[in-house]
Structure 1
Amino acid sequence: MTFTFTALLCLGTLHKPTIKAEPASVVTSGSHMTIWCQGTLDAEICVLHKEGSQKPWGTQTREKPENKAKFSIPSVTQQHGGQYRCYCYSSAGWSERSDNMELVVTGIYHNKPSLSVLPSPVVALGENMTLQCVSKEGYDKLVLTKDDQKFLSSMNSQFIHSIIQYQALFSIDHVTSDHRGTFRCYGYYNQTPHLWSVPSETLETHISGLSKKPSLLSHQGQILDPGKSLTLQCCSDINYDRFALYKLEGGNFTQHRVQWTQSGLSLANFTLGPVRSSTGGQYRCYGAHNLSSEWSASSDPMDILIIGQLPFSPSLSVKPNSTVHSGDNVTLLCQSTYKVDTFILSKEGAAHQPQRLKSKSEAWDFKAEFSMSAVTSALSGTYRCYGSQDPSPYLLSHGSAPVELIVSGGDHTVENLIRMGFAAVILIILGILVFETWARMPRDTTQPRCSKVLSNLYTTLVYKKSCNVVRETGC
């Protein structure tokens, strides 16, 4: 008893050492790792202790020139997971124990989760983002790491009925440049908190700045048949050195070097290959300079929609009819007896995004009315409509039969202004001629001058002509 009491008195008379794991404290099962314990310069031996163990894990003398004790683990197993401390001995006695070091072994469970970021892996400084870890396996906890280091405390997983999986949401408010990097997530059980699953696929986040957004174009259009080739082009009048294309909801962040055109545009072409159902989705692109780690603001989003993925075709009709006058109101009615959540109306050759409307259902009839007020000739063209369902909004039905909309006549407002202007010029000329004639006529008190003016044949003809012009304009 006296010896134990003396040992306890001696322990802690020197400064506590530091403990560190290399390459990291989160390590894959089967890999090699080293635990270092560094005490004071006069330390002679260091002891490594694992929490829950009755005996020291190991004892080592310090190595020069680092003056650190090295504890090597050639092949990590699940028995190595846990918390460690070390303490050292010198001629002055025993040191205090170091702080706890937590060693986590990954790859113990083989059902790996998946990781995604909302709304996008490119987030502007100061905005918020959410990292979503999802697993089919019912792990008690899901944990997020950044660059192989523990980034956030683990969170309880929750079962989500709509996706029939477990998930945890890691919210990050007011993003800074420190949040740029590579993330992974893991799952583990409460009874073994130091034993984790295999990691999710890596997810890289990027920070965007305030530089001008590029433009995203599709020369093949946005509504495509399967099997067709598709190339998306990102371009800008800013001299960016690289562009990146991102597909919403877990797509890859693909980077390309740029080309410069003779007109001074920078651009990059992203060839997506033959179109498949997996090609459908929403795309954005970003620009960056080589000397900057920040990306530009996002381009406007572009939806790529794939035809023929639902086994029906809606019908399309025009009210009041397919030939109307400029300025009239027109409604294009899209209908289907099959279930449709959203109708999409497209105009052949149009550069803008197709129109979308949620369907309204009456019994087994689903429909949407696309209204156009005060139409112009620019709206003339061939229209088709398609249907989609909410679980897969980028996968469409077959197209309806085409409908030709013809808008006849020009813009009446502009036409009337031109005619009124012409009439005003005629009236001014008429006034000048009347005044000159009146001034040259001899004095005759027997007949009022106005009567003599009106009796002038030339003036009368001009006057009649001008009245006819004014009458035609409706003034």
Structure 2
Amino acid sequence: MKEDQKFSWTMPTQNTNSGVFQALFTVDHVTPNQRWRFICYGYYQNSSHLWSVPSNHLELLVSGTLQKPILWAEPSSVINIGKPITIWCKGTTKTQVYFVHKVGSPAPWKGQTFHRPDIKAMFSITSVERHHAGQYHCYCYNSVGWSEHSDTLELVVTGVYLSKVFLSAKKSPVVKSGEYKILQCSSQEKYYSFILMEEEQKFSSTMPSQKTNTGLFQALFRVGPVNPNQRWRFTCYGYYQNSSCLWSVPSNNLELLVSGLSKKPSLLTQQGSVLAPGEDLTLQCCSDMSYDRFALSKEGRSDLPQMSAHFTQVEGSHANFTLGSVKFSTGGRYRCYGSYISSSELSAPSDPLDILITGQFLVTPNLSVHPGTTVSSGENVTLVCQSSIPMDSFFLFKKGASHSYMHQLSKYQDSQYEAEFPMSAEISALGGIYTCFGSNNSFPYLLSHSSVPVEIIVSGEMIL
């Protein structure tokens, strides 16, 4: 029965394989200039004037020729499971009826009829569940007829799958203005794809999951070119092949920080760059600029600790980053940046500071001096660091020197792994106490035990 009773049709019932009794009706020549609302009844053979209770109402939504409405969701079309959401459909000032339809559903999801025309309608969900995920359209009807359907709104429900995903930036979350950055979304779960979402949803990208040699599943995303005029904050999710609108719990938030052209600060440590496990370490970032904050980065890590600046009596600022008791994981290459509260841009990076941790390898190399430890001014001298246990490279340090260490790749010679450090007594302040360490390429910031110290005396030098 058509609602206005301009149409009715009777069909005999048939038994289906599922045990349900049904009849199929063909409604053709549907036009957009009227509403198509139906209801059906059942009756028995000998009582054709005694009908059952009515069925639910069903309205066909006709995609017409009038201006299409606008469909959107608040607070967002990507919503965590259990949270409330409001879907809005905006038509013309003469709209009398609004319908929202979920693609694939046999009936309209919700409808609203107004006694007086209204420009928009609100459809609320108090607690989003899995079955709400999917694609939606909305339709409008007024006295002239049906509108076109709106553009598609894809409603995504997050937090459905509890296997965690992790988001990190290759090497560091700091990037120079105008450059690109590779972000890695990974999980131990075999998700079909990962999706990277910019915080304000102005950017999203989907990539298939790939298994790595470590057993993790990941996808790599290239973002940029970045600029300091906006914030670059991201989250990623995983989902399975047949449920692209049902996503995992979100990853950690990751923000890219743009390194600019303002003057670079200096990164210092009073404890020296070579430490043993258990020693305390504090790094100081300082500048003659009056920066409000300083940030410390470690190569290979995606976090970027920040500290408020302390201002000196003269022009300048600094911040102390207390790393606490040193562990092997403390070793690495560090940089720091300055920034102002009024800008999201960082300064240029400081020069790198390498923190090296001793005692990782149970090796004690031998340090020798040729031709001897006492040399005359202008004489050439070579320090040789050796180990019978394989070492990829060797580091040479001078006690109390303000300059950095010397580094040489090892060579295998006479059943020894060794590196030579040629020097000249003409070099200012050559005399002093030297030690060397071994290292392997797989752990470039972790060293062996120290060699026995060797003292070089330059004859004719004044010893203070």
- Superposition TM-score tier, normalisation by shorter sequence: 0.7 to 0.9
Which range moves more in the overlay, 252-261 or 176-185?
176-185
Shift of residue 251 of structure 1? Answer: 4.7
SS in structure 1 of the partner of residue 204 of structure 2 = coil
Q: Which residue type is aligned with residue 90 of structure 1?
A: N
Question: Is 1:400 aligned to residue 451 of structure 2?
Answer: yes
Code of the aligned partner of 1:283: Y
Q: Does 1:359 align with 2:410?
A: yes
The corresponding residue for 2:30 is 5
Cα distance between partner residues in 2 of 1:64 and 1:350? 86
2:137 counterpart letter in structure 1: R
The counterpart of 1:273, out of the listed 304, 309, 324, is: 324
1:24 aligned residue (66, 69, 76)? 76
Aligned length: 410
Question: CA contact under 8 A between 2:94 and 2:117: conserved in structure 1?
Answer: no
Q: Which residue of 2 aligns with 1:236?
A: 287
Equivalent residue, structure 2, for 1:330: 381
Q: Which runs of 5+ in 1 are unaligned?
A: 412-475
Deviations 1:203-255 (A, max 9, x none): 11111221110000001111112222211111111121221111221253122
**In the alignment, which residue of structure 2 is the partner of 1:147?**
199
Q: Of the candidates 98, 101, 108, which is equivalent to residue 46 of structure 1? A: 98
Instruction: Report 1:39-438 matches (<5 A).
Output: 39-61=91-113, 67-147=119-199, 149=201, 151-161=203-213, 163-177=214-228, 180-361=231-412, 365-373=416-424, 375-409=426-460
**Structure 1 residue 339: deviation in Å?**
3.2
Distance in structure 1 (CA, Å) of the matches to 2:211 and 2:377: 57
* Cα pair distance change 1:60/1:291, threshold 3 Å: same
What is the distance in 1 between the residues matched to 2:115 and 2:181?
A: 46
Structure 1 Cα separation of the partners of residues 243 and 392 of structure 2: 46
Alignment partners' CA distance in 1, 2:198 and 2:73: 17
- Tell me how far apart the structure 1 counterparts of residues 232 and 440 of structure 2 sit (CA, whole Å): 36
SS state of the match for residue 195, structure 2? strand
- Whichever of the two has the greater Rg, that structure is 1
Offset of residue 284 of structure 1: 0.8
One-letter amino acid of the counterpart of residue 407, structure 2: R
List gaps (5 residues or longer) in structure 2.
Answer: 1-25, 35-61
Q: How far did 1:150 drift?
A: 6.5
Q: 1:301 to 1:375 in 2, by over 3 A?
A: same
**TM-score after normalising by structure 1:** 0.79
- Whole-Å Cα distance in 2 between the matches of residues 43 and 362 of structure 1? 89
Change (3 A) 1:381 1:99: same
Counterparts of 1:66 and 1:365, CA distance in 2: 88
Given that residues 126 and 173 in structure 1 are in contact (C-alpha distance below 8 angstroms), is that contact kept between their aligned partners in structure 2?
Answer: yes
| Cα distance change on mapping 1:353 and 1:377 into 2, 3 Å | closer
The answer as to whether partners of 1:25 and 1:149 remain within 8 angstroms in 2 is: no
Whole-Å Cα distance in 1 between the matches of residues 126 and 416 of structure 2? Answer: 69
CA 1:290–1:173 in structure 2 vs 1: closer, same or farther (change >3 Å)?
Answer: closer
Corresponding residue number in structure 1 for 2:47: none
Cα deviation digits, residues 15-71 of structure 1 (max 9, x gap): 111111222122222222222111112212211111221111222357999943222
Per the alignment, in what secondary structure is the counterpart of residue 392 of structure 1? coil
> Which has the larger helix fraction?
1
Residue 358 of structure 1, CA deviation: 2.8
Distance 1:125 1:56, change over 3 A: same
How many angstroms does 1:11 deviate by?
3.2
Residue 335 of structure 1 and its aligned partner are, at CA, apart by 2.0
Matched-pair contact (CA < 8 Å) for 1:84–1:102: yes
Residue matched to 1:465: none
> Which residue type is aligned with residue 253 of structure 2?
T
Identity, in percent, stands at 53
Q: How many Å apart are 1:172 and its aligned residue?
A: 2.9
d(CA) in 2 for partners of 1:331 and 1:8? 97
Equivalents in 2 of 1:61, 1:384: separation in Å? 86
Q: Which amino acid aligns with 2:338?
A: G
CA distance in 2, matches of 1:33, 1:117: 32
Alpha-carbon separation, structure 2, partners of 1:64 and 1:275:
73
Q: Secondary structure at the match of 2:105?
A: coil
Q: Which amino acid aligns with 1:113?
A: V
Q: Cα distance, 1:343 vs. partner?
A: 2.1
